[in-house]
Amino acid sequence: MKVLKFGGTSVGSVDSIKTVISILEKNLAEGERIAVVFSAMGGVTNRLIEIGKMAAAGNPEYMEFLKVVEERHFAVVRGLIPVKNQSSTFAAIRGIFNELEDILRGVSWIKELSERTLDLIMSFGERLSTLVITEILKSKGIAAEFCDARQIIHTNATYGMGDVNFEITNRQILEYFAKTSALQCVTGFIASTAEGVTTTLGRGGSDYTASIIAAALDANSIEIWTDVDGMMTADPRKVANAFTIPSISYSEAMELSHFGAKVIYPPSLQPAFAKNITLKVLNTFNVDFEGTYVQKAANGKDYAITGISSIDEIALVNIQGSGMIGVAGISGRLFTALSNNAISVILISQASSEHSICFSIDPKNAQRASEVLEKEFATEISLGYIDSIAIEKSLSIIAIVGEGMKKSTGVSGKLFSVLGKNGINVVATAQGSSELNISVVIAKSDLSKALNAIHGVFFQSETRSLNLFIVGMGLIGGTLLNQIKNQTKYLREEKLLNLNIAGLTNTKKMLLDPDGIQPDNWRDRVMDEGVKTSLPAFVQRMIELNLPNSVFVDCTSDKDIVQYYHMLLDASISVVTPNKVANSGTYSEYVSLQRTALQRGVKFLYETNVGAGLPIINTIQGLMASGDKFLKIEAILSGTLSYIFNNFGPGIRFADVVREAKAKGFTEPDPREDLSGADVGRKILILAREVGVPLEADEITIKAILPGNCLNAPTVDAFFQELEISDNFFASMQAEAEAKQEKLRFIATLENGKASIALKTVDAQHPFYTLSGSDNIISFTTERYKDRPLVIKGPGAGAEVTASGVFADIMSISSYLG
């Protein structure tokens, strides 16, 4: 025996009922005996309640609403029953509506709508839908019979949520089904008292009907046909990556539903669970999808948890005081007082210090809870044993649920770590000793971010997202976007990572889109849909969006942007940048950025500040962490100058080589930054700080190579003109070096706590002699690399190598976030 139940949307339209009929036909063809339970057509129950209230309020318009309900049923008959058989069904429907109209007329006369009458009015929904579908089945030659559940399911007289008398009900069901072999079409949700007064079964009512019948008849299985693909790992409206849970245990389903998962309401399935009847949740609108199996023990699991659920809005009550320590009976009195006032408690947490107890409740009960407790503990409060009762609102609960937690360690570690890395504060937490559920209370404003971050970390075979907010779409930003575009497929398939470009801006336009700006048409989208750039607004909006795993990527050389780094890191947003301005500002600013990132558990990464993509900063940080001491750094840190001195020579104009360097993407947006030594100055300053020397910019000695006329030119174009004028100056420098068979090298040195930069000539014996292109070379002499220094060499400027260094920093954040 199998019991099928179809929910409101499944019987809500001609098309969906057609599918229902074909599902039933398929089951009948398979030969197993079935019974079927129907809900009212979608929306009808609520409409009937409304109509009842209108009638009670003396509003005659209820009749028009009633006509609409009637017409919906007529339309199904017209759509699905052959014309020659329609009239008897129309007459039966009309008969039922006559009865309902009489009742409503009574309600409008006496202007009163009792719970009892409301149950009677609501019962018409299931009676009508079931009648209509029974007639459709009969018209197709199927031996179907209408079964009014009021004949078989008996409850007490608690209207709105009758308490089932299982002894009588089970007996009646057995007797009823023994008498007939026809397909029974049973009205869901409704029942009656022993005296025949109509009652209803409360929340999940039609599931309950199916469960009661299946349990009484010892059915093998129940199929709950609804309008979603089964139970999901999280609410798909909040977590886009949520997916259907193939198999879930009764207890897990129960826990998830307690925390708001609404697909099924497990308490109503208790009778079936008690008899170990397997339940399947299936989708009428996606018939071939396998849905979710709910059974005593879930089948093998791929993940440590089964699902995530949440309650959007709760209030947290905290009662604390020194007088609670070691005093027995406080919690007994507390929870008795709440229970006597019908205030249901969702989560409880007490620290072992016994100094405080906190629990969460529905916010609509908050005021009452406070009054009840102040009364209960009036004496203790007046004596100062208990402080007054504190209530915090605008909070949410998230519960991670799964039997798998019992066997695997580190589940709570993972949960709290992902919340921490996303800067989400945990206000309270509780874990049942059944190890089935860990619940955390967080700010409501963090709910969506937390759900997505937790889902990403626990269901890792699903693609995770990193949300990138990129400022600067110039040479480096543009190249980075291009690299992201080319790697999208690889990262999705091989790394299960989605780099979602959630924000993009240049000096003109900005665009934020949490759903992502596709890297193949980013420039057009920003220019077409973007609004005028305002960096404060960009940062503000980004913080407001509060997306999980957010990363701010500064691809500008802007000096003012740095002021936002603190704000961002403080909001637990990691920062990646090739922009050297922040790290080469004041030493205290440098330290304070490092500290904020550390405190917030987020990353501030800037490998490309020195030597572009060459692994310089990471190497230093590794050596420092492992306790090495730096004795000396000697380096060529300018790709631009390297390129110039490697390509400048007799017959070549200096200005042309600089132009070439710019065109090849080696120079700073303003090449004077390179030629003046300022760029190298910043780099050696950053290296000094990284190796623990607290230098300020003005402590670095830079021997300028640019004549003043070039340096002071008002624009970059004017600067190039001045360079042409000064051509001889550079040519003679070069000639002098050539004459000695030496090469010009702009070398930065850090030794004994002092940094200097100067243009030197080096002979063929010097390790820096053989450089080509835009090569940088960095030689570290440390206690461990004393006799032969550690040398890193390679192209230290250029769009591709810089963008890929920025990309690598982004990837390292993705691994850190897990």
Ligand X SMILES: NC(=O)C1=CN([C@@H]2O[C@H](COP(=O)(O)OP(=O)(O)OC[C@H]3O[C@@H](n4cnc5c(N)ncnc54)[C@H](O)[C@@H]3O)[C@@H](O)[C@H]2O)C=CC1
Ligand Y SMILES: N[C@@H](CC=O)C(=O)O
779 binds, among ligand X, ligand Y, Na ion, none (CB under 5 to 8 A by kind): none
Helix (H) or strand (E) holding 100: helix 83-110
Q: How far is the CB of 453 from ligand X (least distance, A)?
A: 28
Rounded CA separation 806/580 (Å)? 13
Is residue 131 part of the contact set for ligand Y (CB under 6 A)?
Answer: no
Question: Does the protein bind ligand X through residue 665 (CB under 6 A)?
Answer: yes
Question: Site for ligand X (CB under 6 A): which residue of 206, 292, 422, 802?
Answer: 802
- Binding status of residue 614 toward ligand X by CB under 6 A: no
Cα(307)–Cα(592) distance, integer angstroms: 40
Confirm or reject binding of residue 148 to Na ion (CB under 5 A): no
Answer for which of 207, 252, 446, 674 binds ligand Y (CB under 6 A) is 674
CB of 778 to ligand X, least distance (A): 14
DSSP 578-627: ---TTTTS-HHHHHHHHHHHHHHT--EE-GGGTTTTSS-HHHHHHHHHTT
Phi then psi for 657, rounded to 5 degrees?
Answer: -65, -40
Per CB under 6 A, which of residues 650..669 are in contact with ligand Y?
666-668
Are 154 and 191 spatial neighbours (Cβ–Cβ below 8 Å)?
yes
Q: Give the residue, chosen from 556, 574, 761, 804, that forms a contact with ligand X under the rule CB under 6 A.
A: 556
Interacting residues of 728 by C-beta distance below 8 A, sequence separation 6+? none
Angstrom distance (rounded) from CA 310 to CA 453: 14
By CB under 6 A, the residues from 583 to 612 that bind ligand X are: 608, 612
Residue 781, helix vs strand vs coil: strand
The CB-of-676 to ligand Y minimum distance in angstroms stands at: 12
Using CB distances below 5 to 8 A depending on partner kind, what does residue 638 bind out of ligand X, ligand Y, Na ion, none?
A: ligand Y
Q: Which of 548, 639, 681, 805 binds ligand Y (CB under 6 A)?
A: 639
Q: Which two tokens stand for residue 93?
A: 């429907």
Task: Report the distance separating Cα 599 and Cα 752, nearest Å.
Answer: 31
> What residue 473 binds from ligand X, Na ion, ligand Y, none (CB within 5 to 8 A, per partner kind)?
ligand X
Closest to ligand Y by CB, 215 vs 581, is: 581
Q: How far apart are CA 607 and CA 614, in angstroms?
A: 8
Yes or no: say if 344 and 362 are a contact pair by the CB < 8 Å rule. yes
- Determine the Cα–Cα distance for residues 316 and 366; give it in Å rounded to an integer: 8
Q: Annotated active-site positions, please?
A: 683
Choose from ligand X, ligand Y, Na ion, none: what does 561 bind? Cβ within 5-8 Å by kind: ligand X
Which amino acid is located at 680 in the chain? V
Tell me how far apart the alpha carbons of residues 291 and 451 are, in angstroms, rounded to a whole number.
Answer: 22
**Partners of residue 512 on adjacent β-strands:** 503
Site for ligand X in 445-474 (CB under 6 A): 471-474
Q: Which does 579 bind (CB under 5 to 8 A by kind): Na ion, ligand Y, ligand X, none?
A: ligand X
> CA–CA separation, 396 vs 316, rounded Å?
9
Out of ligand X, Na ion, ligand Y, none, what residue 557 binds, judged by CB under 5 to 8 A for its kind, is ligand X
Nearer residue to ligand Y within complex by CB, 389 or 614: 614
Binding-site string for Na ion from residue 589 to residue 628, where x marks contact by CB under 5 A and - marks none: ------------------x---x--x-x------------
Partners of residue 430 on adjacent β-strands:
439
* CA 575/CA 737 separation, integer angstroms: 43
**Tokens 């750039």, located at residue:** 533
Residues 620 and 645: their CA atoms lie apart, in Å, by 27
Piece in contact with ligand Y (CB under 6 A), picked from 107-115, 352-360, 632-640, 755-763: 632-640
Contact set for ligand X, span 203-222 (CB under 6 A): none
- The binder of ligand Y chosen from 77, 277, 612, 744 (CB under 6 A): 612
Binding site for ligand X (CB under 6 A): 471-477, 505-507, 533, 535, 555-558, 561, 578-580, 608, 612, 639, 665-666, 668-669, 797-798, 802
Binding site for Na ion (CB under 5 A): 607, 611, 614, 616
Binding site for ligand Y (CB under 6 A): 612, 638-640, 666-668, 674, 679, 796-797
